[in-house]
Amino acid sequence: MGFVAGIGAAIGGAASAVGGVVSAVSPYLAFAGTAMSAFGQYSAGQAAQQQAAINNQIAMQNAKLAEQQAARKEQQGYDKARAFQQWAEEFKATQRVGFNRGGVLMMGSVPTVLEETAAELEADRMKILEEGFLAAAYRLSEAANLRLQGSAYLQQGAAAARGAALGALGTILTGLPTLPGVSELLSAPRSSSFLDYGSRAGGAPRLTSSQKESLATTVRF
């Protein structure tokens, strides 16, 4: 019976020791979980900022493509207007030759017809140019909107990273009091604990000038 009781006492002591170790370690394990949660928050913010940077690059690239398309549309308008003007000059020359061959005198209503034809052709040429300008302006407007969108992506990413970092810091600060001794340290008044804190920290306390003068006065008296 004494032998069995001894084994039981040994097992009980071992269990008590293990329980003590678990009890001592559990606050640190809990804080490790808090730290991991904070790191997850921070990482999520960094990932959001990186994705925002990628979105910005895509928007900037699309803006460049839109600007290139605008330049092409404008050039196409010039080319079409130039080709039309060449055709219009040939048409007016043919019209004038036709009047001459018909024996029509360049007087009366004939000059008016030629002038009206020239005005209509010029209006058509200007319309072709206008269409090219409008197409180019639309592409340039699209490029400007894309650049603004890219800037907004960067701002949103920076805000997400900043918010995540602050959230992670708040998580860490919330978990700190769970560590042994931290809660007492944070709640202790500075005026009465700075000497004790210095001794606990393993170094001499740092005195301010007023504290040094007060200490010197006390020693003299």
Nearest to 164 by CA among 30, 32, 40: 40
pLDDT computed for residue 54 by the predictor: 95
Nearest to 79 by CA among 4, 135, 30: 135
Q: Could you tell me what percent of the chain has a pLDDT over 90? A: 36
At CB < 8 A and 24+ separation, what contacts does 36-44 make?
Answer: 37/171, 38/167, 38/168, 38/169, 38/171, 38/172, 38/175, 39/168, 41/164, 41/167, 41/168, 41/171, 42/164, 42/165, 42/168, 44/164
**CB 199 within 8 Å of CB 205:** yes
Asked whether the CA dihedral 142, 144, 145, 147 is positive or negative, the reply is positive
Look over the chain and give the mean of its residue pLDDT values, rounded to a whole number. Answer: 75
**Model confidence pTM above 0.85:** no
97, 103, 108, 109: CA torsion to nearest 10 = -50
Domain boundaries of the chain, sorted by first residue:
2-179
- The amino acid sitting at 72 is R
pLDDT computed for residue 169 by the predictor: 86
Q: How far, in Å, CA of 117 to CA of 89, rounded?
A: 11
Distances (CA, A) of 118 to 96, 97, 122, 123, 220: 11, 15, 6, 9, 113
pLDDT tens digits, one per residue of 130-186? 999 999 999 999 999 999 999 999 999 999 999 998 988 888 888 777 776 665 665
Q: Which of 89-98, 107-116, 181-190 has the lowest mean pLDDT?
A: 181-190
Q: Work out the burial of residue 143: count CB atoms within 10 Å of its CB; fewer than 13 is exposed, 13-18 middle, 19 or more buried.
A: buried
pLDDT tens digits, one per residue of 180-199? 666 566 565 655 444 444 44
Q: How far, in Å, CA of 141 to CA of 49, rounded?
A: 27
Q: Count other Cβ atoms within 10 Å, centred on residue 104.
A: 13
| DSSP letter for each residue of 103-140 | T--SSTHHHHHHHHHHHHHHHHHHHHHHHHHHHHHHHH
pLDDT computed for residue 188 by the predictor: 59
